[in-house]
Amino acid sequence: MILPIRTYGDSVLRRKAKPVEVFDDELRRLADNMAETMYRAPGVGLAAPQVGVGLRLIVVDVSHDEVRDQLHKIANPEVLEVSVESERCEEGCLSVPGFSEAVVRPHWAKFRGQDMEGKPFILEAEGLLARCILHEIDHLNGILFVDRLAPFRRKLLRQRLKKQFGTLSAPEFQPTR
């Protein structure tokens, strides 16, 4: 089932998500629906708050085209370690449609999470996969990619967002620097 994606200005995007405590068919159905929504959008990642659910759940698939063979469904993801080496790459977001900006993120990261049965696991990722998981974990903490921009870029983007989305309700930006 395709779920509606919440967009910039929706207060749910600024709330910290709660840990997943119950691993049942409902959770698995939510993760499946999130994946279907992400593919349809199309995107490479989606966090539960982006579909209005305040749980620490993300789906990520950085495979290309019709392959779709790298789907990660992660409950309660945590960053354990990141590389000192970082990369500046363009990022967009399904909740901020039509906008992209260069964001600096670590090249490599190590994560802890749980699968859809509640079993803990460790995942090491680099490049696009690491970037995507870090982006989605930000969503779980009420942070949008626009919050990670330099102050000048944030100011310019804020003006563009105000034009497209009208009023900027909820906390507009939460600088992370």
Residue 136 annotated in active site: yes
Catalytic residue among 81, 101, 136, 172: 136
Please tell me the distance from the alpha carbon of residue 150 to that of residue 147, in angstroms, as a whole number.
Answer: 8
pLDDT tens for the 177 residues of the chain, in order: 999 999 988 999 999 999 999 999 999 999 999 999 999 999 999 999 999 999 999 999 998 766 667 899 999 999 999 999 999 999 999 999 988 999 999 999 999 999 999 999 999 999 999 999 999 999 999 999 989 988 888 888 878 887 877 654 444 444 454
Burial track 93-116 (b if 16+ CB lie within 10 A, e otherwise) = bbbbeeeebebebbbbbebebbeb
Q: Architecture of 11-165 per CATH?
A: Alpha-Beta Complex (3.90)
Q: Domain boundaries in the chain?
A: 11-165
Query: Within its chain, how far is the Cα of 65 from the centroid?
Result: 20
Judge if pTM exceeds 0.85: yes
Helical H segments across the chain, by residue range: 25-40, 127-140, 151-165
